[in-house]
Structure 1
Amino acid sequence: MNRTKEALLEVKGLKKHFPYKKGMFSKETGSVRAVDGLDFTVYRGETLGIVGESGCGKSTTGQLILQLLEPTEGEIWFEGKNLSSLNKTDLRELRQHLQMIFQDPYSSLNPRMRVEDIVSEPLRIHGLYQGKELRERVVALLRLVGLDEHHLSRHPHEFSGGQRQRIGIARALALNPSLIVCDEPVSALDVSIQSQVLNLLKKLQKELGLTYIFIAHGLPAVKHISDRIAVMYLGKIVELAERDELFANPSHPYTEALLSAVPIPDPTQRKERIILQGDLPNPANPPSGCHFHTRCPYVQDLCRQKAPELTTRSAGHVVACHFPLGHE
C-alpha cells in the first residue's frame, strides 16, 4: 500500500446540524443531524473510502472538509492548520491544496464554457499562469487525463460522460492539490466506463502523490481504489478498517449487510443476501441508543438504551457496536 503514516487531515468531533422551521412564524423546531460526531485521520498518499446509504452524511462530510459548509461543531485540521480558525485570505491560499471531483459530470461543468476555460479557471482565479504558459498548462492537464489539445475549443455537450468526468478531474488537478475529495465520481457513469475512471485515479495518485477521500454508496468501487474504508450510518462512522480486513472480518451488522449485497463474479457460487428491514430512520429524529438498532437482526436491550462508542477490535480496526460480530 502506497501510504506513509504522516497525517494529512484530522477530523475531530465533526458535526453538521441543519435547523428546520415550521409554522406561520417559521419557528425553529429541530435540526437534521446530517453529520453527528466524526473522528478520523487521513494519511498522506492513501485513499480513505467512505461508504453508506444515501442520506448517511458522507457527501456532507466531504463538503465540510472543503469548507463549502460551515461545521456546527468540531475541528478539521489540514497540514497542521485548523481550517475553522483561518481568515479568508489564509483559507483562500489553502484551498489550492483541497479540491473536489463531483458526482455528476453533466451538471458540474458549465455548458456555456469551452474546455480550455473550464480547466484554466482555477489557474486564472489564483493568478498562477497567463498567456502562452496558461494554455500550455491546460494542454498538459488534458493529456494527463487522456484528452488532447484538439479538445480545448469544444463544449461539454460534445463529450461522453466518461470524457466529461476526465475534464472534471483535470480541473481538480489544476492547482496541484494535496487532497482530493471524490464525491461518487463514477456513480453517474456506465459500468464499462467506471473502471477506466477508477484506474485513471489510481494512476494519477501514484504519479502525483495524491491523497483521496473517495465517497460512494457501493462497495465494489470503494474496494477497487481504497486503502482503508469507513462505513457511515445516520451521520456516524460505525466501522473503520483496512480494506482487506473489513471485507474479510466485518464487525458491524450494517457492514455485514452491505457486504452481502456485493455481487460474486463466479455465477456457480451462492451468497446469502442480508435484507435489512425498514428504511433509513429520519436524521431529524434518530433512534435512541444505537441508531442502527431499529434495523439490526442482532438487536438486544442494551442497543436500544445506550449509544456504542468506537472501540478497537484489532490494529487499525474500530467498530461502534455493543456486540460486534465474532465477539466472544
Structure 2
Amino acid sequence: MPDQSLIYHLAIVGLGSVQEYLALHVLLCLVPAFFLAGAIASLFSKESVLRFFGNETPKYISYPVAAVSGCLLAVCSCTVLPLFAGIYRRGAGIGPATTFLFSAPAINILAIVYTAKILGYDLGVARAVIAIILSIAIGLTMAAVFERHREKKEGIKNFGEERHAHSAYLFLLLLAILIVPEILTEWILLLAVETVLVIITVFLSFNWFRKEELKDWMAETWFLVKQIAPLLLLGVFFAGIMVELLPAEYVAAVVGGASFGASFIASVAAALMYFSTLTEVPIISALTELGMGRGPALAMLLAGPALSLPNMIVISRIMGAKKTSLYIALIVAVASIAGFIFGLYFV
C-alpha cells in the first residue's frame, strides 16, 4: 500500500497549487475570459462564418476564414468535432475543413488569453499566429492530395440572420477588461479603470441587446464555466503533484533545450494525450518549471488541442482512415518544426 503520509503530502501540494492559481488568475483572467467566450458563442452568427467553407468559395477567402474563425466561434477541442463533421458533410472542401479543425481549438479566445497569462505573451502570440499559418499549410496539403478528383459538392448556405454590429463593440470592451491588468500595475488606478469599463459594458449591454440575447449570453458563459472550470482546477491540482514527483533532470533530458528531437517527442506525447480545454496550459507550465524548453512547449501547445486518441477515432469516422492518417502525420510534423524553429530563434 502507498505511504499515507506521502499521499497526504501530495494532496497538500496539489491543493496549494490550486489555491495559488485561484489567487493569481481567476478574477482578472478567467472570469472576463469566460464572459468574452460566452458572448462570442451566443451573440455571433456561426452560420455567417461557416458559409465561407464551401467548395465554390475562392481559396483566398475560404482558407483565411477557416484559419481565424475559431476565435470568432469560440470552439474548444471537444466542440470543434461536431462543427467539423457538420461543415464537412454539408459541402466544405477537405482543405478548409481541416484548416478549421486544426486552427480552431488552438486560437480559442480562452486558450490564447490563458496561455499568454500563464506561459508568457511570446508563447501566447506564437500559439495563435503559428496555428493560423500552419493550419492553412495543412489544409492546402490535404486538398492537394485528396481533392484532385473530388466529386462536386453542394456549397454551404447561410441560414439565420446576421447579428447586429453591437456584438463587435461588446467584444472590444470585454477584450479591454482583459488587457488592462497587463498595462496598469498600480492597483488603485487598475481598480478604477476596470470598474469604469465593467460599468460601461453592463450599461451598454442592457441597451444594445434584447433580454433573450442577454439570457443566452449568461447561459453560454455558465455552460463554459461548468464544462471547463472543474477540469481546469483538476489539471492545476495534478500539475502541482507532477512538479513534486517528476525528476527535473528527466524532463530536461527528454524535452529540454531546443532540439528537433525534443519538439518531436513533445508533439507525439501531446497527440497521444487527452487535454480538456485549457488543461494543457497548467500541465505545460509545470513541465517548463522542470526544464522543458520553450520550443517543445510550443510544439505541445500546437499538437495537444488538435489531437488525442478519442479525437483521432472520431475524425477517422468522419473522413476515413487514409485522410486521417495524413492529417495526424502533418500535425505532428508541423508542430515539431514550429517548436524547433521557435526554440532556436524566438527565445
TM-score normalized by structure 1? 0.28
Larger strand share, 1 or 2: 1
TM-score normalized by structure 2? 0.27
